[in-house]
Amino acid sequence: MRAAVEWITSFLDGPKPSAARIAALLTDSGTEIEACEKTADGWIVEAAITSNRPDEFCHLGLARDVAAVLGRTLILPPHTAEATGVAVEQALKVVVEDATRAPRYTARVIRGISNGVSPEWMQQRLLAAGQRPINAVVDISNYVMLECGQPLHAFDLDRLNAASLNVRMARPGEKLAALNGRTLTLAAEDLVIADGLQPQALAGVMGGSNSEVTLATRNIVIESAVFAPRGVRASARRHQLRTESGHRFERGVDRNACSAAGERAARLVLEICGGTLAAGVFDLGGAGPAPAPISFNPARVRKVMGANVPQRKMSTWFRALGCSVDESAAQWLVTAPGWRHDLHHEIDLVEEVVRIAGLERVPERISMPLMVATEPAVRLLRAEVQDLLVGLGCHECVTPDFVREGAEASAALHMQAIPLAAALPVRSGEGVLRRSLLPSLLRVARHNQDQGNGTPALFEVSPVNGLGPTGTPARRQLLGVLLACDWREARAVLDAVLSLRGVQATPNAMSEANAALDPTARACFKSAERTLAFLGMPAAELCGDLRHKALYLEVDLEALDGVGTAARRFMGLPRFPAVVRDLALKVRDAVSYSAVEEAVQAAEAQDIESLELFELYRGASIGAGMKSLNIRITFRSSQGTLTTAEVDQRVQLMIARIAAATGAEVRGA
Amino acid sequence: MDAAGVNDPLAVVAAAGDECRARIRAAESAEALASARSAALGREGRLQALMELLKSAAREVRPALGVALNALKNELTELAAERALALGSVASGVVSEDITLPPTTLSRGSLHPLTRTERRVVQVLKGLGFSVTDGPEVEDEFHNFVALNIPPSHPAREPADNFYLAGVPYLLRSQTSTVQIRTMETQQLPLRVCAPGRVFRPDEVDATHHYMFHQVEGLAVDEGLSMADLKGTLLLFFRGLFGADVELRLRPSFFPFTEPSAEVDVRFPGRGWVEIGGCGMVNPAVFAAVGIDANRWSGFAFGLGLERLAMRHCSVPDIRHFTENDVRFLRQLA
């Protein structure tokens, strides 16, 4: 809220504090002043008012906090108006049909006014507070709202059909020509102020142009009412109307002070525009129930704040803020004023003391005992994975969870739960929660391609979410890696990740139905019956205009952590030397490497330390449909040094076995 | 051989040494050095000539003379090598490394700046005894609102201000404070936890707003905690994060789940205050929602946004860089 400093200080007795002082005081007591500047209309402050303090949406409210901090007396403006006219019931008829939506409705009538421009002092304050002067009556209603926070509305009595007001729900499709020039089509949920014929105002939000007060207006109705916050908020949203009045009703106004504000406006009208105030007031609903006193133990302040505040100061502050205080017992009884909807419990009063005393009074003193800090195992694995992949040259990405309906939303590997979608998507069609990190990483890859950044290796570690079979949320902690490399290199990355938990996994065929990875290049990797990872070429549908061939790797980090362990045990160093033999195999393309591996392992496997494929070759020199596999076998015994004869014998056996199992043509090297 | 030399061979060695040293030091080119070296240490050199003195010297002088000659030889050899290094040639015939050649490129990866920021924050908090904990992004209204003292009529629950999920009673959490509730529901007291994670609010995306961003939440529940503990903890936390000369200021504010609540500002020497997060004492209503006796236990909580921290720390002007993941951006902040 924009407030005029001169207006705030006009409510304080004694010397007037400077604008800067006001700004600092308000900020330090919980009302952040975002700007304090001198304008053509005087010094102003921009106050960011928290949602619990609607009472500060007026100059008097801001002044009250300043007075409490400074220990000054608040000077309230006079609000009584002398009624010399006929009884108000003779001039107007008021009915409230929906008391839930309009808990209190007051109306006063003034006849015979002479509306003109408002006085200069009023115009200057309005301008400083950001309100454009219109005419005296309208300015007065705005002025009183900015003064005490109660929104008011003035109707031209002569333009109300049957001189009546009915606070009722709108009939669906009913029209209201609003003050801003728009014609609103009302809904059944809109509360309106209607005359005998039609709606004249959207309650609490905006008046209608039919009964607008103009310079020609002679007789007026001053409405001062309380409308239920939710109803006002819904109507304001429905019709996309942001108004000062709606803003205040949405946050709540003081039901007890509602009539006094109407009278204050009437007084100003009589002063400025003349006329005669009808005797009496329509007051439907009346003041609310008296607020219950709050039991307050002053000793609680020290416990919460960690600092001493004298009890005498506490009671002075409570009174300055408008509370009544009964200090006769150790347990005080404090009753909040009608404008403070946020004071219900002892802790609310403690907060008042803390903010008026100032947080700089709180010492920085730790009384907490030492505690050991732990971290979930999967988070530790996550950090290890991040460091490993960065070391391997991959770039970590952070991407939003939303993907597009269709192929992106369908992409799922580890997470097969039902996809969830935002009721209001961020962009049309883009509101589904991803179940795989693949679509997100492909987007990043395309961005980098379009920027001419080449084909960087990318990864992301993130949870994905869906809906589990029991209708409760399902969540998986995933690692996704998008690589521009061949299958064997991608497997090396996978092995490096799995080895963080000492796990080895074997490739298995994937389910036919999976649409995320291309059927010609994909596998799932299992260990101890659990699926730990998927590796494969992303389906063309997902790749879009990605020009390079990519491989995607997805690891379920919780599964990996569950299967493996971070613990390591030293196995000793070998005592005897190794013997290395290379074999060159010429084999049909269709023969898998695992067939060769099995044949090797089957033959005298006990002393084979390792088996390594060091070259894979396809080409004209070895013929179509064939491939050459060059493997290196390391033999080592734990019992003694292997002799050449022993190794030769095993290699011969092995060659025969491989040839029989795979039809390979084998040459020893 | 002059008479003095015969009489005092050590003086002769000393004089010759001075001469050789001066010549080596004075060499300004490889050639000049080679000739100085050869004149001193070569087969026909000065040192070789001095060796002849040994033969003619008196028996009692010979050991001292031998030591002096050896020392001089070693010294001159080293001096020549040093001079050679200084002249940029180790020895004749050896080409030295061109130390100005540029490095080749290693394929180095990069940790995302938000991960770096999160690690820094978590590291400091762990040092203060805050265990790290995790909570779900898909939440129910109880954990996101009700237990956090945000009543049904509260504007924060408006459909337009939250990512409610279609067809299910869940929404994407709008703050990591939900983890406070989950922790208090399940963990033994006293407790001290921090919860980094993603949060979601349907804000228009611009240079400073995104619908998905990251927060870190801290929570301590113990007997006898007051705002002094909160303030003391925050001061240590920000000193750990930013250095010992950072200043802390709390400003009263409002959050439904803490009371009293405050905004947290920090200031570096010579700079202005910067708002960095929110904090407060756990609202007794929150304790009531999770069945904790507020007469016995008290607690404090604080939260801050990781993007804002990373943006300030790394001079990133636009929040969208974080989710765009342009590798040129990532490499610069690696």
- Nearest by CB to residue B165, choosing from A305, A373, A420, is A420
- Nearest by CB to residue A366, choosing from B160, B232, B324, is B232
- The closest of B38, B36, B5 to B22, measured between CA atoms, is B36
Buried b (16+ CB within 10 A) or exposed e, A581-607: bebbbbbeeebebebbeebbeebbeeb
SS3 call for A589:
coil
Q: Note whether A305 and B252 are within 8 A (CB).
A: no
CB contact under 8 A, B326 and A305: no
**Whole-number Å distance between alpha carbons of A253 and A257:** 9
CB contact under 8 A, A386 and B153: no
3-state secondary structure A505-522: CEEECCCCCCCCEEEEEE
CB contact under 8 A, A395 and B115: no
Q: Note whether B304 and B276 are within 8 A (CB).
A: yes
Helix (H) or strand (E) holding B306: helix B306-314
**Whole-number Å distance between alpha carbons of A199 and A205:** 13
Question: Same structural domain for residues B138 and B257?
Answer: yes
Shortest Cα–Cα distance, A501 to chain B (Å): 21
- Nearest by CB to residue A398, choosing from B109, B112, B160, is B112
**Whole-number Å distance between alpha carbons of A271 and A301:** 47
Shortest Cα–Cα distance, A140 to chain B (Å): 30
Q: Note whether A317 and A343 are within 8 A (CB).
A: no
Structure tokens at A275: 């006329």
Question: Same structural domain for residues B238 and B177?
Answer: yes
Residue B204 DSSP code: P
Shortest Cα–Cα distance, B237 to chain A (Å): 12
**Whole-number Å distance between alpha carbons of B108 and B327:** 11
- Residues near B103 by beta carbon (within 8 Å), at least 6 away in sequence: none
Confidence of residue B1 (pLDDT cuts 50, 70, 90): very low
CB contact under 8 A, B254 and A392: no
Establish if B248 belongs to a structural domain. Answer: yes
Question: Same structural domain for residues B17 and B148?
Answer: no
For residue A504, what are the β-bridge partners?
none
CB contact under 8 A, B110 and A399: no
Q: What percent of chain B has pLDDT over 70?
A: 96
CB contact under 8 A, B111 and A390: yes
- Residues near A432 by beta carbon (within 8 Å), at least 6 away in sequence: A402, A403, A404, A405, A408, A409, A419, A420, A421, A422
User: Chain B residue closest to A27 (CA)?
Assistant: B251
CB contact under 8 A, B253 and A305: no
Q: What is the CATH number of the domain that holds B262?
A: 3.30.930.10
Shortest Cα–Cα distance, A362 to chain B (Å): 6
Question: Same structural domain for residues B211 and B322?
Answer: yes
Establish if B41 belongs to a structural domain. Answer: yes
Q: Sign of torsion, CA A9 A15 A21 A24? A: negative
Question: Which residue segment(s) compose the domain that B278 sits in?
Answer: 113-332
Amino acid of residue A285: G
Establish if B178 belongs to a structural domain. Answer: yes
SS3 call for A300:
helix
Residues in chain A with CB shorter than 8 Å from the CB of B115 are: 386, 396, 398
Residues in chain A with CB shorter than 8 Å from the CB of B328 are: 451, 453
Helix (H) or strand (E) holding A55: none
Residues in chain A with CB shorter than 8 Å from the CB of B134 are: 376, 378-379
For residue A95, what are the β-bridge partners?
A166
pLDDT single digits (tens) A161-190:
999 999 999 999 999 999 999 999 999 999
Question: Same structural domain for residues B150 and B45?
Answer: no
CB contact under 8 A, B165 and A423: yes
Which residue in A347, A385, A394, A475 has the most chain B C-beta atoms within 10 A of its own C-beta, making it the best mutation to test that interface? A347
User: Chain A residue closest to B118 (CA)?
Assistant: A383
CB contact under 8 A, B138 and A420: yes
CB contact under 8 A, A399 and B325: yes
- The closest of A116, A122, A113, A112 to A142, measured between CA atoms, is A122
Number of domains within chain B: 2
Residues in chain B with CB shorter than 8 Å from the CB of A454 are: 327
Shortest Cα–Cα distance, A385 to chain B (Å): 11
**Segment 204-223 of chain B within 8 Å of chain A by CB:** 205, 210-212, 220, 222
The reply to whether B123 touches chain A by the CB within 8 Å rule is no
pLDDT of residue A599: 85
Amino acid of residue B160: A
- Nearest by CB to residue A374, choosing from B131, B211, B327, is B131
Q: Note whether B121 and B196 are within 8 A (CB).
A: yes
CB contact under 8 A, A433 and B138: yes
For residue A462, what are the β-bridge partners?
A478
CA angle A355, A358, A364 (to 5 degrees): 115
pLDDT single digits (tens) A119-162:
999 999 999 999 999 999 999 999 999 999 999 999 999 999 99
Residues in chain A with CB shorter than 8 Å from the CB of B228 are: 305-307, 362-367
| Residue that terminates a domain, selected from B86, B121, B137 | B86
| Adjacency order of strands within the sheet including A332-335 | A294-296, A332-335, A324-326
Structure tokens at A429: 């069609």
For residue B281, what are the β-bridge partners?
B300
pLDDT of residue B85: 80
Question: Same structural domain for residues B16 and B141?
Answer: no
Residues constituting chain A? 669
Establish if B92 belongs to a structural domain. Answer: no
CB contact under 8 A, B227 and A305: yes
SS3 call for B111:
coil
Shortest Cα–Cα distance, A524 to chain B (Å): 26
**Whole-number Å distance between alpha carbons of A399 and A386:** 15
Residues in chain B with CB shorter than 8 Å from the CB of A371 are: 129, 131, 190, 192
Question: Same structural domain for residues B119 and B264?
Answer: yes
| Residue that terminates a domain, selected from B71, B86, B101 | B86
The reply to whether B247 touches chain A by the CB within 8 Å rule is no
Question: Same structural domain for residues B186 and B66?
Answer: no
Shortest Cα–Cα distance, B327 to chain A (Å): 7
Question: Same structural domain for residues B156 and B234?
Answer: yes
Shortest Cα–Cα distance, B100 to chain A (Å): 26
Q: Note whether B268 and B242 are within 8 A (CB).
A: yes
Displacement of CA B171 from its chain's centroid (Å): 37
Where do we find the tokens 């995306």?
Answer: B205
Confidence of residue B10 (pLDDT cuts 50, 70, 90): confident
pLDDT of residue B3: 46
CB contact under 8 A, A426 and B130: no
The reply to whether B297 touches chain A by the CB within 8 Å rule is no
pLDDT of residue A604: 62
pLDDT of residue B94: 66
CB contact under 8 A, A373 and B233: no
CA angle A140, A53, B231 (to 5 degrees): 145
- The closest of B38, B13, B2 to B23, measured between CA atoms, is B38
- Nearest by CB to residue A375, choosing from B131, B225, B331, is B131
- Nearest by CB to residue B228, choosing from A365, A399, A465, is A365
Q: Is residue B91 scored above 80 in pLDDT?
A: no
pLDDT of residue B13: 86
**Whole-number Å distance between alpha carbons of B25 and A555:** 66
**Whole-number Å distance between alpha carbons of A447 and A444:** 5
Buried b (16+ CB within 10 A) or exposed e, B38-52: ebbbeeebbbeebee
Grouped pLDDT means (10 residues each) for chain A, 669 residues? 96 96 96 95 95 96 97 94 95 96 97 96 96 96 98 97 96 95 96 96 96 96 96 95 95 95 98 96 93 96 96 97 96 97 96 97 94 96 98 97 95 95 87 97 97 96 96 96 95 97 92 90 93 96 94 98 94 94 91 88 78 89 89 92 90 88 79
Question: Same structural domain for residues B121 and B55?
Answer: no
pLDDT of residue B2: 47
For A480, half-sphere exposure in the C-beta direction (CA atoms, 13 angstrom radius) is 29
CB contact under 8 A, A423 and B126: no
**Whole-number Å distance between alpha carbons of A639 and A648:** 18
Establish if B267 belongs to a structural domain. Answer: yes
User: Chain B residue closest to A307 (CA)?
Assistant: B228
CB contact under 8 A, B129 and A457: no
Residue A162 DSSP code: G
For A26, half-sphere exposure in the C-beta direction (CA atoms, 13 angstrom radius) is 31
User: Chain A residue closest to B220 (CA)?
Assistant: A368
Establish if B183 belongs to a structural domain. Answer: yes
**Whole-number Å distance between alpha carbons of A408 and B28:** 72
CB contact under 8 A, B259 and A351: yes
Displacement of CA A587 from its chain's centroid (Å): 60
Establish if B301 belongs to a structural domain. Answer: yes
- Nearest by CB to residue B133, choosing from A230, A376, A448, is A376
Where do we find the tokens 């000193």?
Answer: B239
Question: Same structural domain for residues B204 and B250?
Answer: yes
Q: Note whether A542 and A442 are within 8 A (CB).
A: yes
- Domains, chain A, in order of start with CATH, read 2-70 (3.30.56.10), 88-284 (3.50.40.10), 294-361 (3.30.56.10), 377-563 (3.30.930.10), 579-668 (3.30.70.380)
pLDDT single digits (tens) B164-186:
999 999 999 999 999 999 999 99
Shortest Cα–Cα distance, A663 to chain B (Å): 41
pLDDT of residue A95: 96
Mean pLDDT, to the nearest integer, of B23-30? 85
Helix (H) or strand (E) holding A144: helix A136-148
pLDDT single digits (tens) B187-198:
999 999 999 999
Shortest Cα–Cα distance, B184 to chain A (Å): 16
Question: Same structural domain for residues B188 and B328?
Answer: yes
Establish if B108 belongs to a structural domain. Answer: no
Q: Sign of torsion, CA A644 A646 A650 A652? A: positive
**Whole-number Å distance between alpha carbons of A105 and A225:** 4
